[in-house]
């Protein structure tokens, strides 16, 4: 297959705009090294369908993150216009981006995940949150459809609950257009992640990384600001749990229908010795400090080969 017409989709009008531009920058550097010609398009949901009609003969390299990038919307438009594109298809993207849909699929396939409930943003109030404090003791609040740990609050103590209630109107505004809110049991433990690739017939799990964040958890700043998170590669966990993480990541990639590349996050509760599935990302970051390129390098897979593998597996 020749790649003489590549269009990089970048930017997007959401909370992950900057990260997308950084991913695009790394992709562009690599395409230049590979002597593959390309163009880039800054994506605006309002005029994307009109603009993309000018690129019918291009392969779209999806460097977008967040809503209208990895949630199935853009994949649906590209499919409708018969334009080839990288990464996962509409169904897989939609299911993985919606944490409730992915949890339902995961639970059906007997993979352990934290208990959860879903509520409307307008119902975020003292009485509702107190109910979840009694139910879970510790819990996490996050949009049901978002990436990069956007809009997360962790409630462990009564003071955390009070602080959130005192600033609840501000928090609701920060959530922007996110109306469905996930309330999830907080599991104490090691934050782990596994990148998976399917460039040939077999899904391969690259490695397990333990993430230690300088912030309360592995949030947006920790993910994309150098020095805010420590990546321990390979993760310092026992061999049995290491292999189990690899197996669950491969199974998740398969049952969620991911294509090309993905990354699955876990929590290992060492006291219970249980691994909890958190989510699968169909558009993992490809920035200079992102986890998938780091794990690929650990397995002696160059960034060039990652980009070539993604381009060979188009929809």
Question: pLDDT value at position 170?
Answer: 87
Are 32 and 63 contacting, i.e. CB atoms less than 8 angstroms apart?
no
Question: pLDDT value at position 179?
Answer: 83
Tens digits of pLDDT across the chain (315 residues):
556 699 999 998 887 889 999 999 999 999 999 999 999 999 999 999 999 999 989 999 999 998 899 999 999 999 999 999 999 999 999 999 999 999 999 999 999 999 999 999 898 888 999 999 999 999 999 888 876 566 789 999 999 999 998 988 888 888 877 788 999 999 999 999 999 999 988 999 999 999 997 655 444 444 444 556 799 999 999 999 999 999 999 999 999 999 999 999 999 999 999 999 999 999 999 998 899 999 999 999 999 999 999 999 998
Question: pLDDT value at position 73?
Answer: 95
Which domains, ranges and CATH numbers included, belong to the chain?
A: 6-87 (3.40.50.20), 96-112+187-312 (3.30.470.20), 116-185 (3.30.1490.20)
Question: pLDDT value at position 216?
Answer: 54
Model pTM score: 0.90
Question: pLDDT value at position 305?
Answer: 96
Question: pLDDT value at position 214?
Answer: 67
Question: pLDDT value at position 177?
Answer: 73
Q: In which residue are the tokens 């059906």 written?
A: 108
């Amino acid at each position: 297959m020749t790649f003489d017409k590549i269009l990089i989709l970048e930017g997007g009008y959401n909370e992950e705009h900057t990260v997308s531009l950084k991913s695009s920058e790394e992709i562009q550097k690599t395409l230049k090294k590979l002597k593959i010609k390309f163009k880039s398009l800054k994506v605006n949901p309002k005029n994307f369908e009109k603009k993309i009609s000018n690129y019918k003969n291009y392969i779209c390299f999806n460097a977008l993150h967040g809503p209208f990038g990895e949630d199935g919307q853009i994949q649906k438009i590209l499919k409708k216009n018969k334009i080839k594109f990288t990464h996962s298809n509409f169904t897989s993207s939609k299911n993985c981006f919606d944490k409730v849909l992915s949890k339902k699929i995961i639970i059906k396939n007997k993979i352990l995940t934290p208990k959860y409930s879903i509520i409307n943003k307008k119902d975020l109030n003292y009485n509702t949150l107190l109910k979840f404090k009694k139910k879970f003791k510790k819990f996490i609040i996050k949009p049901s459809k978002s990436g990069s740990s956007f809009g997360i609050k962790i409630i462990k103590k009564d003071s955390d609950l009070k602080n959130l209630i005192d600033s609840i109107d501000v928090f609701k505004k920060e959530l922007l257009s996110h109306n469905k809110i996930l309330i999830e049991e907080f599991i104490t433990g090691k934050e782990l992640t596994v990148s998976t690739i399917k460039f040939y017939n077999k899904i391969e799990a690259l490695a397990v990384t333990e993430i230690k964040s300088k912030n309360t958890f592995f949030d947006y700043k920790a993910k994309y600001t150098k020095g805010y998170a420590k990546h321990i590669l390979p993760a310092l966990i026992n061999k049995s749990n290491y292999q189990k993480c690899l197996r669950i990541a491969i199974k998740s990639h398969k049952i969620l229908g991911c294509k090309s590349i993905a990354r699955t996050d876990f929590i290992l509760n060492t006291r219970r010795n249980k691994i909890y599935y958190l989510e699968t990302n169909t558009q993992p970051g490809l920035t200079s400090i992102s986890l998938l390129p780091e794990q690929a390098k650990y397995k002696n897979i160059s960034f060039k080969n990652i980009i070539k593998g993604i381009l060979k597996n188009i929809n």
